């Protein structure tokens, strides 16, 4: 085998990378294990311990802190950890109206309304829709009349065409989405979410936000949907505030009776070595790990036990106050305590009315330490010196030394006020002061003013990265254009449901893995153990690559890994079956293995490429769980090819060099699938009839059931998964809920067990009231309480009709695009359009059959069969199954033609050839189908209720895919070639 050394080198290199990537999980596991042992069940203690370890080096040798290591481990998705995800939609209609000065023009406002209606129905580009609608309503109207104003003079001229205005609006819309993303990310960072995941959904005005571990839904909704307020404030210097803080500390020492709980954590105390809290002001306790001393210190210095005054070591070696606007340093976990101290009545009287405290937006780099600022209130009404509406533009750029900076432009009113503010701040050449840039009552930046700025154009520079300046520019522009953001979909999973998902996911994973290992060992004897070793290596690679990519592991992701395990044996089965054919021809083991790998390679490449293409399409068109499934599927396909083909070949070469006895069968499996000569082509019309009957039955049930059972993904609404303490009658629950939902529909179905219900309702789904979610949940709880049973809401999901229409559009595009790509690939690979069309017809056949069976069986099975995003993922995966099976048969036909020196055959000779190809690959088709079927059955039984419908679609899809590849896709080539046969005659 050529390149054996290179393969070994790559395997070792990949192994080292995977081992390194997975090591972070091991380190965090050990730290969190110590935290649990220390806390002994006390959640607050456990959190305090982990907070104290944030800046402590925990990775031996590399010196990485717990916070850094935690950010590199494989993160668990919401369905495994619990938490919340939301999709925010930026209101481009309100943005456009604001840019036009909130005009009352009837045509303008009607165009906005029409464009929004089209967007809700699945339209894509709001700006294009708006411009088109306006031109319909006012054919001679000029949009520049609305948008060409003083603030936009540099970007838009008064005589600009409607096309120019459209380009301007598109740029402003994209800019508004970027700014909203920055603001929302800043708010999430301030919320303290561990490993949040935020993504701009390209090509739309939506932002997806995932927050593992978050359960306070109302707080999150309020946080994300509140309007951002940008402000500019003058600030006090450190030396102006220190005496006030000392008085507060003394007063608290006299009045605070409660002892402050202090975390006694190994080397990770709040004043850890090298931390920003190491130097406390006079009277503050020294760093010590003794709990008693810390508790005593917190009594005598309540404020300074959690707040440090910034100091530095002067030239004389003494501690001196650090000049500047930062008046204190506090660990994130202690900010609430400091805030509570400041809010006490006896402390409020010590703080001047012209002073208020604000925290920095983010912690100091490499720590969990936040900076405290003392804001100077100079107006009688308590308003800031300058508001965000004064900013006309802000751009990132570079200064004269090529360092990143931000240039800020003020409008005329803002420039006049800015001149006075900057003059005051820079008046003392020996004590230049800072101006705080504040967003949502947190300090984003506090640059020092060097000189008076008379023209309203300012440069903000410092130790910025390019990303910092981009974010700051977006923040500064945030006050210019109001672009309200609203939640159009959300999904909440309780922690108990997440733990159940972990348990069921791991159970299905382990059992499925054992099933595959046992099957391969029993069927293929010693060769099966080679495949099993390659499978173990493949699993290690999959997890390592996912960790290296920073992938988020979800339940569909685990299903994708388990499914990949089933698919990874496909390559080995293809190889082993070809080796057995060569052995049957009397060749020795070494030659048979060489020929087996050689002849199987074309089929392996084709089948894996088709499935990989489907995975990419899933990733592009899917969101959330569908993308998780697609990610693990694509990674698994790549690592499977490497492990099953290359590594297993190296193992066989090693065994052959040692003259080991390698067997590919046993007495039971030796003659399996021998001498089969089934006439698939001859019975094809019977198969057409069977498929037609099922599809017609599906149409009948579709009419009977008034359409498909669409999930909230496709029709909009709210869904709740509720678990009761006893068996529930769905009709009784429905009556109670409908009464509380003001007569609105409530669809109640069992979800796996009699005491688990899935409740779906469109109640208030189009209501724009920000309290609508709370209204619906209160009505739900009231109705459930009236049943007299105890209940727990495990998860909830909301999808507005707007986003539901987009999901439908994406699903249709995904299926159609998949078919087009498959057709092109087959035609290019096999050079006959009949093969490509036959494969595509089979794909549509499979989709119709799965949907028909879903329609027929809905209501019969003890779990809901809804058409949602997961179902689309299942459909596309089923299409992948059919394609992998079909291309293997096509490969055998091509191989046989090449052996005979012909490019094609016709008539009865073609029928014979196709039957030969189907029968000769039957063992591979059946064995691969069985392995995947076993895996899916294990996930179906042990994988939990949340993915049971999804796995059921894959199960019936596996059966249909096998049936389709044998009985539809290849035999149909005969009927597509009838005209060709007549021409030959």
Beta pairing class for 435-439 and 230-235: antiparallel
* d(C-alpha 785, C-alpha 973), whole Å: 61
User: Across residues 370-377, what is the average pLDDT?
Assistant: 92
Residue 202 has φ and ψ, to the nearest 5°, of -55, 140
Could you read off the pLDDT of 3-35 as tens digits, one per residue? 677 888 888 888 898 898 889 888 888 888 888
Residue 697 has pLDDT above 90, yes or no: yes
The CA distance from 313 to 320, in Å, is: 6
What is d(CA 362, CA 372) in angstroms, rounded to the nearest whole number? 11
pLDDT score of 869 = 66
Nearest alpha-carbon partner for 73 in 127, 13, 24, 8 = 24
Distance separating alpha carbons of residues 741 and 744, to the nearest angstrom: 5
Taking CA atoms, 633 is separated from 352, 406, 511, 552, in Å, by 61, 43, 19, 14
Give the H/E segment covering residue 87: strand 83-90
Q: Contact, 711 vs 949, CB < 8 A?
A: no
Does the structure show a pLDDT above 60 at 271? no
Quote the CA–CA distance of 651 and 198 in Å, as a whole number. Answer: 43
> H helices within 198-290, ranges in order?
217-225, 238-255
- Write out the DSSP string of 809-865: HHHHHHHHHHHHHHHHHHHHHH--HHHHHHHHHHHHHHHHHHHHHHHHHTTTSSS--
User: What are the φ and ψ backbone dihedral angles of 863, each rounded to 5 degrees?
Assistant: -145, 150
Q: CB–CB of 96/144 below 8 Å?
A: no
pLDDT reported for residue 441? 79
Judged against a pLDDT cut of 70, whether residue 265 lies above it is answered with no
Q: Token digits for 25?
A: 């999980």
**CB contact set of 407 (below 8 Å; sequence gap of 6+):** 394, 395, 396, 397, 457, 458, 459, 460
pLDDT tens-digit map of 638-692: 888 888 788 888 888 888 888 888 888 887 787 777 777 788 888 888 989 999 9
Tokens 């119709």 locate to 848
Most confident of 51-60, 87-96, 288-297, 561-570: 87-96
pLDDT above 90: residue 279: no
The tokens describing 936, both together, are 């899916």
Which residues, other chains included, contact 355 with Cβ-Cβ below 8 Å and sequence gap of 6+? 236, 241, 244, 374, 375, 376, 377
Supply φ then ψ for residue 156, to 5 degrees. -145, 125
Q: Tell me how long the chain is.
A: 985
In sequence order, what are the beta bridge partners of 552? 75
Rounded Cα distance between 792 and 143, Å, is 54
> Which residue, 556, 540, 629, is CA-closest to 25?
540
Dist CA 471 CA 183 (whole Å): 9
Choice between 604 and 703, residue whose per-residue pLDDT is larger: 703
Question: Which residue is associated with the tokens 């008076």?
Answer: 452
- Computed on alpha carbons and rounded to an integer, the radius of gyration of the chain in Å comes to 33
Render pLDDT for 845-902 as a digit per residue (tens, 0 to 9).
888 888 898 888 877 777 667 777 667 766 766 777 777 777 777 787 777 777 776 7
Return the H-helix or E-strand segment holding 212. Answer: strand 206-212
């Amino acid at each position: 085998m050529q390149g054996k050394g290179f393969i070994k080198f790559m395997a070792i290199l990949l192994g080292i990378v995977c081992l390194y990537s997975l090591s972070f999980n091991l380190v965090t596991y050990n730290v969190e294990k110590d935290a649990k042992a220390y806390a002994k069940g006390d959640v607050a203690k456990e959190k305090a311990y982990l907070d104290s370890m944030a800046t402590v080096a925990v990775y031996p040798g590399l010196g990485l802190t717990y916070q850094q290591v935690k950010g590199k481990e494989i993160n668990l998705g919401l369905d495994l950890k619990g938490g919340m995800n939301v999709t925010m939609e930026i209101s481009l209609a309100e943005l456009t109206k604001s840019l036009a000065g909130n005009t009352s023009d009837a045509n303008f406002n009607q165009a906005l309304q029409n464009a929004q209606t089209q967007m809700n129905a699945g339209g894509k580009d709001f700006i294009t829709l708006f411009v088109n609608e306006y031109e319909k309503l006012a054919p001679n109207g000029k949009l520049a009349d609305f948008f060409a104003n003083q603030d936009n003079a540099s970007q838009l001229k008064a005589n600009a065409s409607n096309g120019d205005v459209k380009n301007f609006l598109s740029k402003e819309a994209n800019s508004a989405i970027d700014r909203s993303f920055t603001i929302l990310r800043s708010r999430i960072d301030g919320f303290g979410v561990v490993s949040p995941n935020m993504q701009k959904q390209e090509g739309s005005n939506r932002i997806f936000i995932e927050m593992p571990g978050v359960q306070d839904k109302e707080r999150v909704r309020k946080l994300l949907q509140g309007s951002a307020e940008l402000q500019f404030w003058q600030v006090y210097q450190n030396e102006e505030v220190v005496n006030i803080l000392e008085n507060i500390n003394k007063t608290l020492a006299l009045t605070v009776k409660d002892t402050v709980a202090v975390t006694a954590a190994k080397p990770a105390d709040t004043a850890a070595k090298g931390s920003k809290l190491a130097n406390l002001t006079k009277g503050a306790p020294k760093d010590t790990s003794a709990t008693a001393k810390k508790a005593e210190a917190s009594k005598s210095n309540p404020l300074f036990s959690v707040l440090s005054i910034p100091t530095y070591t002067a030239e004389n070696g003494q501690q001196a106050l650090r000049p500047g606007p930062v008046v204190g340093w506090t660990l994130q976990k202690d900010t609430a305590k400091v805030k509570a101290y400041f809010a006490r009545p006896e402390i409020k009287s010590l703080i001047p009315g012209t002073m208020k405290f604000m925290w920095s937006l983010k912690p100091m780099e490499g720590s969990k330490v936040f900076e405290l600022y003392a804001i100077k209130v100079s107006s009688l009404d308590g308003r800031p010196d300058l508001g965000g509406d004064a900013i006309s533009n802000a751009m990132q750029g570079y200064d004269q030394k090529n360092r990143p900076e931000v240039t800020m432009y003020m409008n005329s009113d803002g420039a006049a006020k800015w001149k006075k503010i900057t003059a005051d701040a820079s008046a003392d050449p020996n004590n230049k002061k800072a101006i705080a840039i504040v967003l949502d009552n947190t300090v984003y930046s506090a640059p020092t003013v060097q000189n008076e700025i008379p023209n309203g154009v300012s440069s903000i520079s410092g130790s910025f990265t390019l990303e910092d300046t981009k974010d700051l520019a977006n923040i500064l522009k945030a006050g210019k254009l109001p672009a309200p953001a609203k939640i159009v979909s959300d999904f909440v999973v309780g922690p108990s449901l997440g733990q159940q998902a972990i348990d069921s996911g791991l159970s299905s994973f382990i059992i499925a893995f054992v099933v595959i290992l046992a099957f391969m060992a029993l069927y293929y004897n010693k060769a099966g153990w080679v495949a099993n070793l390659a499978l173990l290596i493949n699993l290690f690679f999959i997890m390592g690559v996912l960790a290296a990519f920073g992938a988020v592991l979800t339940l569909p992701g685990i299903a994708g890994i388990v499914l990949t395990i089933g698919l990874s044996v496909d390559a080995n089965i293809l190889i082993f079956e070809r080796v057995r054919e060569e052995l049957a021809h009397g060749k020795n083991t070494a030659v048979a293995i060489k020929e087996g790998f050689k002849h199987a390679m074309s089929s392996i490449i084709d089948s894996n490429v088709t499935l990989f293409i489907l995975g990419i399409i899933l990733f592009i068109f899917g969101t959330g769980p569908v993308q998780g499934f697609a990610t693990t599927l694509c990674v698994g396909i790549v690592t499977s090819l490497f492990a099953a083909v290359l590594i297993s070949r190296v193992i066989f070469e090693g065994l052959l060099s040692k003259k080991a006895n390698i067997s590919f069968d046993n007495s039971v499996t030796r003659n399996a699938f021998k001498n089969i000569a089934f006439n698939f082509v001859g019975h094809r019309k019977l198969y057409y009839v069977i498929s037609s009957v099922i599809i017609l039955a599906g149409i009948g049930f579709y009419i009977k059931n008034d359409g498909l059972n669409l999930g909230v993904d496709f029709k909009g609404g709210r869904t709740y998964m509720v678990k009761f303490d006893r068996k529930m009658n769905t009709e009784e629950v429905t009556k109670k809920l409908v009464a509380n939902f003001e007569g609105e529909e409530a669809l109640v179905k069992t979800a796996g067990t009699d005491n688990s219900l899935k409740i779906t309702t469109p109640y208030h789904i189009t209501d724009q009231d920000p309290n609508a979610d709370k209204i619906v949940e209160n009505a739900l709880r009231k109705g459930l309480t009236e049943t007299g049973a105890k209940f727990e809401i495990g998860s909830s999901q909301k999808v507005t009709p707007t986003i539901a229409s987009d999901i439908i559009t994406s699903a249709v595009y995904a299926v159609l695009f998949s078919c087009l790509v498959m057709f092109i690939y087959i035609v290019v690979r096999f050079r006959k359009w009949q093969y490509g069309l036959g494969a595509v017809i089979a794909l549509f056949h499979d989709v119709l059959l799965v949907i028909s069976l879903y329609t027929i069986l809905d209501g019969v099975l003890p779990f809901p069969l809804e058409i949602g995003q997961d179902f689309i993922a299942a459909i596309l995966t089923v299409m992948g199954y059919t394609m992998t099976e079909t291309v293997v048969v096509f490969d055998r036909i091509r191989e046989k033609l090449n052996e005979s020196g012909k490019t094609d055959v016709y008539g009865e000779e073609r029928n014979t050839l196709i039957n030969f190809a189907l029968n000769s690959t039957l063992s591979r088709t059946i064995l691969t189908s069985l392995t995947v079927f076993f895996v899916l059955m294990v996930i179906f039984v042990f994988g939990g209720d949340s993915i049971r419908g999804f796995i059921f679609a894959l199960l019936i899809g596996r059966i249909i895919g096998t049936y389709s590849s044998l009985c539809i896709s290849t035999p149909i080539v005969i009927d597509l070639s009838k005209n060709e046969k007549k021409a030959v005659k």
